[in-house]
């Protein structure tokens, strides 16, 4: 009698591996886009003449989003 792990586990693991790879590639692309957005917000805030709380809010939001994605990539042990 065949064990359930051999009968059902192998194909599922291959499929999960493909999903992980595609998600990892998407995550790396999203990190690059988010980093660019964060830097644009930072430059915009630095170049503005008057204090605008909305600009500061958007910059902090972009920074938090970038570091969240960066932390997720570190937990997945992704490398460029």
Residue 27 CA to residue 41 CA, distance in Å, equals 21
Quick check: is 66 in a domain? yes
Average model confidence (pLDDT) for the chain?
Answer: 84
For 5-41, how does the pLDDT look when each residue is reduced to its tens digit (9 = 90+)?
555 555 555 666 777 788 888 999 999 999 999 999 9
Quick check: is 80 in a domain? no
Res 59: pLDDT: 94
Res 4: pLDDT: 57
Domain count, the chain: 1
Side-chain-facing half-sphere of 40: CA atoms under 13 Å: 7
Quick check: is 7 in a domain? no
- Enclosing domain of residue 60: 20-75
Quick check: is 11 in a domain? no
Quick check: is 31 in a domain? yes
> Considering the entire predicted model, what is its pTM?
0.72
């Amino acid at each position: 009698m065949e064990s359930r792990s051999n009968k059902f586990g192998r194909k599922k693991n291959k499929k999960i591996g493909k999903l992980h790879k595609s998600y990892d590639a998407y995550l790396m692309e999203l990190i690059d886009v988010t980093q660019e957005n964060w830097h644009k917000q930072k430059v915009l805030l630095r170049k503005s003449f008057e204090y605008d709380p909305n600009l500061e809010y958007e910059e902090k939001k972009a920074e938090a989003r970038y570091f969240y994605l960066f932390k997720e990539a570190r937990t997945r042990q992704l490398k460029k």
